Structure 1
Amino acid sequence: MSNERRVSPRMTEDLHFNQVDGPPRYARRTDKPVQYVVIVNAAGAVIGYVWANDEDDAAGWTVRPAGGDEAFNLGFIWATKLHEAKARGLAPTAALAEMIRDSDPSASSCVQAGSLSESPSLTALKELAAK
């Protein structure tokens, strides 16, 4: 018997990665001003913001940490709406307008009426969300 450990070839062979395309997505960053809407839960508490900038083809969901797990979980709905809008070829601000138009106040979360605003930057909006 040998004291030498046998090394599986699976542990020593080179790995080959193939890059694949995923679904279309808006850019997640911009250094330009963003339009945004306030998202509230069923009780009317602010849970986050959906923002957009056409110039950089950017849009996203910014959670309000004070909203806790509920805000984080409900953010999935809004991120999904953005992904679907991008897949249909909508510009970021057109996606935002669609969300405003289709918002349902009886849902678990919705766009706060009259909340469409502009922030000088995404950083400023994230600072607002952190308050």
Structure 2
Amino acid sequence: MNSHQRSHPRFDEDVHFNLVTPGPSRYRTRTDKPVRYLTVVDKEGGAVLGYVWANDEDAAAAWVPRAAAGGRALAEGGHWHVRLQEAKGRGIPPSQALVEILSNPEGNRGRALPGSLTDAPTLAALKELAAGR
């Protein structure tokens, strides 16, 4: 159909708008402020797979895989992201999500290490720890 041709008049009247709801609730994944984090270890050998971190001030939380743990750490991250997403969906602060994780520490390949909740001066410092620097 040419641009100068009109569409059928009936189609001019049949315009529908669908309300699109936003995607799932998520915490932010970045902050430049201090973070609280917990350590997740491999169920099989006890090696550190990564860290779940949170910052209430920026409503931020996510998973940081440990570089030395390779693909196993990357695969484990999905489980922790889902748990954080569920917590955000219930409207709880990120730090409370960490407390919940410690109360039910089992993941797919790993588990949150009891007593590992601690602080890092920045998310960048935690990422350096995960990178092995």
Segments of 5+ residues of structure 2 without an aligned counterpart are: 1-19
Q: CA deviation at 1:90?
A: 1.0
Question: Percent identity between the aligned chains?
Answer: 49
Question: Alpha carbon RMSD of aligned pairs, Å?
Answer: 1.7
1-side partners of 2:115 and 2:37: how far apart? 11
Counterpart in the other structure of 1:25: 26
Q: CA deviation at 1:104?
A: 3.4
Q: CA deviation at 1:34?
A: 0.2
2-side partners of 1:21 and 1:78: how far apart? 21
Counterpart in the other structure of 1:124: 125
What secondary structure does 1:22 align onto?
A: coil
Q: Deviations over 1:48-99 (max 9, x none)?
A: 0000000100000001111011111011111110011101111000000000
Q: CA deviation at 1:20?
A: 5.9
Segments of 5+ residues of structure 1 without an aligned counterpart are: 1-18
Q: CA deviation at 1:117?
A: 0.5
Q: What code does the residue aligned with 2:52 have?
A: V
> After the TM superposition, which segments of 4 or more aligned residues of structure 1 sit over 3 Å from their partners?
none
What secondary structure does 2:33 align onto?
A: coil
Task: Identify the match of residue 59 of structure 2 among 40, 57, 60.
Answer: 57
Task: Identify the match of residue 72 of structure 1 among 68, 74, 80.
Answer: 74
Q: Report the number of matched residues.
A: 113
Q: CA deviation at 1:108?
A: 2.5
